Amino acid sequence: MKETNQATRRDFLKKSAAASAILTIPSIIPAQAFGANDRINAAILGVNGRGKSHIEGLMKQKNVQIKTFVDPDLIVANERAKDFEKTYGAKVNVIQDMRRVFDNKDIDVVTIATPNHWHALATIWACQAGKDVYVEKPGSHNIWEGRKMVEAVHKYDRIVQHGVQLRSSVAIREAIQLLRDGYIGKVYMARGLVFRKRPDIGNKPLENVPEGLNYDLWTGPAPKRPFTKNLVHYNWHWHWDYGNGDVGNQGIHETDLCMWGLDVGLPSKITAMGGKFLWDDCKETPEVLSSIYHYPDEKKIIQFEVRPWHTNAEDGSTVGNIFYGDKGYMVIKGYDSYETFLGDDKTPGKKGKEGGDHFKNFIDAVRAHDSSMLHGPVESAHLSSSLAHLGNIAYRTGRVLTFNPKSESFINDPEADRMLTRNYRAPYIVPENV
């Protein structure tokens, strides 16, 4: 069986169009007109996890054609291409290096479902190449590169949507309007809930890079560690070099909604505490994390809770948000429903349940070339991701932090400031001047 699997992997490699050498960083090119009959041609960067949802989401859109899959693992990419042809009756190109897509003038939009450490640089490169972008959450791996994303989007006049699909939910948008209208009174606190079952991942040994995986491309701007299956393809979430823990994974939906509902930007006081209490595995990020973000000038506060295992629900919600006002409170459940409870006796109030199409919102904005149409613009990506990053920095430093939202830096805290960015590995460097 082992020899059969190896032969299969070799066969994939021989058939792949991605066996060519790595290209140089893309040159800046102007945006191109759409294809024949106003068709939008798309490429998906990363097709192992969320990339599968990107395929489905784009293929639902009118006159959109996926032309290329990009993944450093050819085995994964070719398997996904076979599934695509079987499902949709069309072939796609398969390549390993995303820079070939940026050099391809026939590609109009890219969607990014890579690991977190690639999100910002891939977005910046795409903007420089005249592509519009749908980027998964979190928009950035650290606060500094998130600001660089915002600069690139405005400099190159691109359409960039952040993959927080609840922003397009009809019910959630209705809920936000109720908060704005004072339905539960003066809203002073938001609580984010991320109670997801995260198992023991063990501590797998170092081993050779498997055939078909270009580990240098997978690593990209991050430090290049010796290969282990504890990193590729999912558990990178729990290692600081690549992921941001669950507050920066599932939690970005909720950090985004906390800020949106309270109508605030970045906080000035942050504290966090947590740790690993269940598993003696190789995770670096905390299993349990409790974070508090304080806005003293606005008299508002955000509480955020990450739990890893069996737990109770809070008013029926295990992944969602709770908003508190002086007349009642609102519970957001998942991505598409809300309930309200009013007064001392918690009388049920208005509620709603209806989703939306975040990819349609993106494609509509691309066709109109109007960023004001976006439900999840790049500024919201930067802020919601930064809130998670601030909580992680507070946890890692172990103290209350004072932050200047205008300069996006800490007050008299060089140690915390160093965590605002990272050392990038050449040639995968997020530029100072985008």
Contact 382, 146 (CB under 8 A): yes
Peptide bond into 138 cis (omega under 30): yes
Residue 423 belongs to some domain of the structure: no
Query: Does any domain span residue 330?
Result: yes
Q: What's the rounded Cα separation, in Å, for the pair 70 and 94?
A: 6
CATH number of the domain at 38, please: 3.40.50.720
Torsions phi, psi of 114, nearest 5? Answer: -80, 175
Same domain, 393 and 336: yes
195 and 128 fall within a common domain: no
Whether 373 is covered by a domain: the verdict is no
- Same-domain status, 158 and 191: no
What pLDDT, on the 0 to 100 scale, is given for residue 261?
98
202 conformational bin, left if phi > 0, alpha if psi -120 to 50, beta if neither: left
Strands 319-325 and 300-307: unpaired
Does residue 36 belong to any structural domain of this protein?
Answer: yes
For 27, phi and psi rounded to 5 degrees?
Answer: -85, 155
Q: In this structure, are 298 and 324 located in the same domain?
A: yes
What's the CA gap between 245 and 269, in Å, rounded? 21
Per-residue pLDDT tens listing for the chain (434 residues): 333 334 433 443 343 333 333 333 444 444 446 665 689 999 999 999 999 999 999 999 999 999 999 999 999 999 999 999 999 999 999 999 999 999 999 999 999 999 999 999 999 999 999 999 999 999 999 999 999 999 999 999 999 999 999 999 999 999 999 999 999 999 999 999 999 999 999 999 999 999 999 999 999 999 999 999 999 999 999 999 999 999 999 999 999 999 999 999 999 999 999 999 999 999 999 999 999 999 999 999 999 999 999 999 999 999 999 999 999 999 999 999 999 999 999 999 999 999 999 999 999 999 999 999 999 999 999 999 999 999 999 999 999 999 999 999 999 999 999 999 999 999 999 999 99
Torsion of CA 10, 14, 16, 17, to 10 degrees: 150
User: Are 52 and 180 in the same domain?
Assistant: no
Q: Report pLDDT for 82.
A: 98
Residue 433 belongs to a domain: no
Number of domains within the chain: 2
In a domain, 430, yes or no: no
pLDDT score at 22: 30
In a shared domain, residues 160 and 252: no
How far CA 95 is from CA of 13, 48, 233, in Å, comes to 11, 14, 18
Query: What is the domain extent for residue 268?
Result: 167-203+215-355+379-418
- What is the Cα–Cα distance from 143 to 311, expressed in whole angstroms? 31
Residue 361: inside a domain: no
Q: Are residues 6 and 146 in the same domain?
A: yes
End-to-end Cα, the chain, rounded Å: 49
pLDDT of 37 reads 67
CATH code: domain of residue 414: 3.30.360.10
The pLDDT of residue 18: 36
Is 146 in the same domain as 276?
A: no
- 3-state class of 434 per DSSP? coil
Q: What does the DSSP 8-state code read for residue 248?
A: G
Q: Do 221 and 143 share a structural domain? A: no
Largest separation between any pair of C-alpha atoms in the chain? 68
Distance CA 98, CA 80 (A): 17
